[in-house]
A and B are shown apart, each in its own frame.
Chain A
Amino acid sequence: AQTVTQSQPEMSVQEAETVTLSCTYDTSESDYYLFWYKQPPSRQMILVIRQEAYKQQNATENRFSVNFQKAAKSFSLKISDSQLGDAAMYFCAYRSAYLADYQLIWGAGTKLIIKP
């Protein structure tokens, strides 16, 4: 069974600096999708970024980018120029590309604190 591990329960960063949140996963599959979701205090879960395993290029969305290391089964999220609005819980999630597996497998989350 697939698992997702976020080893940092909490991280803090100074505003305007860069922070990296780590995520590792375990799977025997070769084709899958990885996601980072953000949950601010308002509770709304929002997709931050998505990566297809078959793509070697790391996904980027404005200040958010990933470092996808398929062999190491690592999927870290880098937030550049941190802003106060980035403060939230961040969840890493895995999804098989095989239609028989419908579920998102979630990590335990990392709480990101932004210091002004």
Chain B
Amino acid sequence: DTAVSQTPKYLVTQMGNDKSIKCEQNLGHDTMYWYKQDSKKFLKIMFSYNNKELIINETVPNRFSPKSPDKAHLNLHINSLELGDSAVYFCASSRDTSGREEQFFGPGTRLTVL
């Protein structure tokens, strides 16, 4: 029944490693997002995809690469992890890109880089 799911929920890894976070939504939505929430709880949009096409790509290091194999999935791959990448990463989806649509969030993935 989970609307937006992310795996894993917790990820602890060493600096320099490469890791991926997976996101899936079963709501039939066209649009998906990745957000980063830092230790001060500030939410920052990273990427947005609409119908598998990239529509928002904020100023994010190119070590971060989103991949959308289909409308229901938006995965985030991170190369050469750095200490500053430690944060909670949220995936979200919305019916479309129109302004009034609610965004549904996943449970978040807490990434800790040691």
Given A103-B45, A106-B43, A33:B97 Cβ within 8 A: no
B34 interfacial contact with A, CB 8 Å? no
Contacts of A91 in B (CB 8 A): 43
Known: A45-B92, A95-B99, A102-B31. 11 other contacts (CB 8 A): A32-B99, A33-B99, A43-B107, A47-B102, A50-B100, A89-B41, A91-B43, A99-B98, A102-B50, A108-B40, A109-B43
B108 interfacial contact with A, CB 8 Å? yes
> Interface 1/0s, chain B 45-61, versus A by CB < 8 A?
10010100001100000
Contact A102 B100 (CB under 8 A): no
Min Cβ gap B106→A in Å is: 8
Given A33-B100, A97-B99, A102-B97, A43:B108 Cβ within 8 A: yes
Contact A102 B56 (CB under 8 A): yes
The residues of A with any CB-CB pair to B shorter than 8 Å are 32-33, 35, 39, 42-47, 50, 52, 89, 91, 95-99, 101-104, 106, 108-109
Contacts of B45 in A (CB 8 A): 103-104
